[in-house]
Structure formats: C-alpha cells, structure tokens
C-alpha cells in the first residue's frame, strides 16, 4: 500500500492526531533537512485529507439540511 492510499484510509481523527504529532516533532527536535522535508510532505498530505473529509461532511450537512445553512437568523 502506498502512502497516498494509506492516508486515504485514515479517519479524520486519526489523520489529525498524526498531523499534530508531526508538527510537534518538527517544532521540538533538530532534524536533517531530508527528514524534515519528508515529515512536511506527509503533513501536507494529511492536511489535504482532513480538508477533503471536512468538505465532504459540510456537503452532506448542506444536503441533509436542504442547503439552508446560510439562511439569516430571525430574532424576535
């Protein structure tokens, strides 16, 4: 299984947790340029996956709500 298909199998929560780990690793330890770039690339892929999952969730919510999410709130 390649990295892209592996990431595609992750839930939002799993991808976000791994992304948080990568950010901590990049912030806390001295890394070689090659290792830092590898971590950054994986982080970018995880970020894109999370964004895609959130976009799909938003679309589903809009479909279920009849696309009325942007309707103005009526106050009495």
CA distance 20 to 40: 12
Q: Domain coordinates of the chain in residue numbers?
A: 3-64
pLDDT tens figures, 50-74: 999 999 999 999 888 886 666 555 6
pLDDT for 69 equals 60
pLDDT tens figures, 10-57: 999 999 999 999 999 999 988 999 999 999 999 999 999 999 999 999
pLDDT for 23 equals 96
CA distance 43 to 40: 5
What is the residue-wise DSSP string for the chain?
A: --HHHHHHTS-HHHHHHHHHHHHHHHHHS---HHHHHHHHHHHHHHHHHHHHHHHHHHHHHHHHTTT-TTSPPP--
Q: Which fold has domain 3-64?
A: Helix Hairpins (1.10.287)
């Amino acid at each position: 299984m390649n990295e892209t298909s592996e990431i595609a199998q992750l839930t939002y929560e799993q991808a976000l947790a791994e992304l948080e780990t990568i950010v901590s690793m990049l912030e806390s330890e001295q890394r070689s340029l090659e290792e830092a770039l590898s971590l950054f690339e994986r982080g970018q892929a995880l970020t894109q996956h999370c964004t895609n999952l959130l976009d799909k969730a938003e679309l589903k919510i809009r479909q279920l709500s009849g696309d009325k999410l942007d309707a103005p709130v009526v106050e009495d």
